[in-house]
Amino acid sequence: MKRSIVLFVLIASSVLWGQSNPTAPVAANSRAEIFGGYTYMRTDFSAPLQNANGFTGSFTAFVSSKVGITAQGSAEFGKSSFRNYTMMIGPRYNLGGNRYQPYVHALIGYASSSANIAGSNISQGAFGTQIGGGLNRNSLDSGWGWRVFQAEWERQYRTLLTTHGSNRFRLSTGLNYRF
């Protein structure tokens, strides 16, 4: 049984090795990308606008060289014990380029906010969207790259203080790895 598994792994890996083009840039051959980095968010969560800092992580599986499906999660923290967590998924479209690669995406999912308002801790989750894009600076000889920026408009459709929703601007930067 062990010999059959080893033989299968060797054959499968040799077939997969033959599928790749070693002379093409890593960005052109990528099937997936992982991103992690710092996030700044400007929110209209409370009467005065406030800033929040945190982190964003995402995984993108490419179905072609230009189209992928992105799953993204983030957490931001601000004053008055403000916390914002999101889990989103949606399509991504690469606009071209290997070394510098602009892209756009439209994500939908779940957004949860909590804050300490007038001495009470209030928390609520709602449907949310994130629409935006960014610019990756990819290495041509390794999978590592730098997400120069990712800018997004986030809409949470129902919030703690209002029934009409909340708008947020998010800006991220960090490292990505394509494989």
Domains in the chain: boundaries: 28-178
Q: What is the pLDDT of residues 29-66, one digit of tens each?
A: 789 999 999 999 998 755 556 899 999 999 999 999 89
Q: What is the pLDDT of residues 135-155, one digit of tens each?
A: 999 987 789 999 999 999 998
- Burial (Cβ within 10 Å: 0-12, 13-18, ≥19) of residue 130: buried
Nearest to 30 by CA among 110, 143, 137: 143
d(CA 68, CA 63): 5
Helix (H) or strand (E) holding 3: helix 2-19
Q: What's the pLDDT at 162?
A: 57
Q: What is the pLDDT of residues 78-136, one digit of tens each?
A: 987 889 999 999 999 999 888 999 999 999 999 988 887 777 787 788 899 999 999 99
Strand partners, 81: none
CATH architecture of 28-178: Beta Barrel (2.40)
Whole-prediction pTM: 0.78
